Amino acid sequence: MKTDPKKETERIIAFLKKTFAEQKIKNAVIGLSGGIDSAVSFLLLKRAIPEKNIFPISLAYFSPYVAIPKKNYDLSIKEAVDACVQNLGVSRNDNVRIGNIMARVRMIFLYDLAKKNKALVVGTENKSEHLLGYFTRFGDSASDIEPIQHLYKTQVYELAKYLNVPQEIINIPPTAGLWQGQTDEEEFGFTYEEADQVLYYYFEQKLPIEEIVKKELINAKKVIKRVKENEYKHKTPYVLEV
């Protein structure tokens, strides 16, 4: 699973440049969470197009995720989310429904600002999240271009070090920021490091789960169980074939 960070960086930058040129769009909108995925995606984007053409946006509910340049946007989604929660009668104890609303409200903001600035929405999803189904449909899964979706989370960390992402960002426990104290790995019940090994063996090496378990990956069955439980997210919407 090791990557060559230099070659990978060059490959992603070429991909970004090619996509923006083909779409004849100069500007980009990207949501910054303060975490490693958005930091890496932002730094790659800055190497692909002029920084003046990038509109980074912080879309926090609890508190601002990260300081961003004043010429861009630091917006609160709290009022919009609270209005949805109230109008839909969602219980304040239902973290999942409220979290999904947050993710989808953020995407409304991102796409509206992309429209305003004639920009593409740049996503920040990694391959681990994608395969585990750890995303909200039509929320954080929505984007126009994904620079790091082909990289496992552990590979994103390799790239972060190469790109000199600040250590304080690298050290932040991965979180979707959907409720107070939430972390990805606590919610999973396993680490990204372990998940990535299991996912690699299962999807890239095509090993059966029984063989993966033998590699002393004690949570292998739990990882694949989550994959299978969320497979439907990759198949919707279901359509009638003609």
What is the full per-residue pLDDT of the chain (242 aa) written as tens digits? 789 999 999 999 999 999 999 999 999 999 998 899 999 999 999 999 999 999 999 888 876 555 555 556 778 899 999 999 999 999 999 999 999 999 999 999 999 999 999 999 999 999 999 999 999 999 999 999 999 999 999 999 999 999 999 999 999 888 877 777 778 888 899 999 999 999 999 999 999 999 999 998 989 999 999 999 999 999 999 999 88
The residue segments making up the domain with residue 113 are: 5-177
Task: Tell me if 113 is assigned to some domain.
Answer: yes
Do 36 and 142 fall into the same domain? yes
Do 108 and 202 fall into the same domain? no
Check residue 216 and give its pLDDT: 87
Check residue 135 and give its pLDDT: 95
Interstrand relation of 27-31 and 73-76 (parallel, antiparallel or unpaired) = unpaired
Report the distance separating Cα 109 and Cα 223, nearest Å: 33
Do 230 and 131 fall into the same domain? no
Do 103 and 207 fall into the same domain? no
Check residue 1 and give its pLDDT: 75
Check residue 70 and give its pLDDT: 52
Do 12 and 39 fall into the same domain? yes
Q: How many CA atoms lie within 13 A of 123 on its CB side?
A: 22
Task: Tell me if 49 is assigned to some domain.
Answer: yes
Do 143 and 214 fall into the same domain? no
E strand or H helix that includes residue 214: none
Task: Tell me if 194 is assigned to some domain.
Answer: yes
Do 197 and 165 fall into the same domain? no
Check residue 33 and give its pLDDT: 87
Do 129 and 26 fall into the same domain? yes
Q: How many domains does the chain have?
A: 2
User: How much is the pTM?
Assistant: 0.92
Do 22 and 93 fall into the same domain? yes
Domain boundary among 177, 211, 227: 177
Q: 162: Cβ–Cβ under 8 A, 6 or more apart, which residues?
A: 5, 6, 9
Report helix, strand or coil for 185.
helix
Do 120 and 230 fall into the same domain? no
Per-residue tokens: 88: 């839909």
Check residue 68 and give its pLDDT: 52
Phi, psi of 45, rounded to the nearest 5 degrees: -60, -40
Check residue 179 and give its pLDDT: 76
Check residue 160 and give its pLDDT: 97
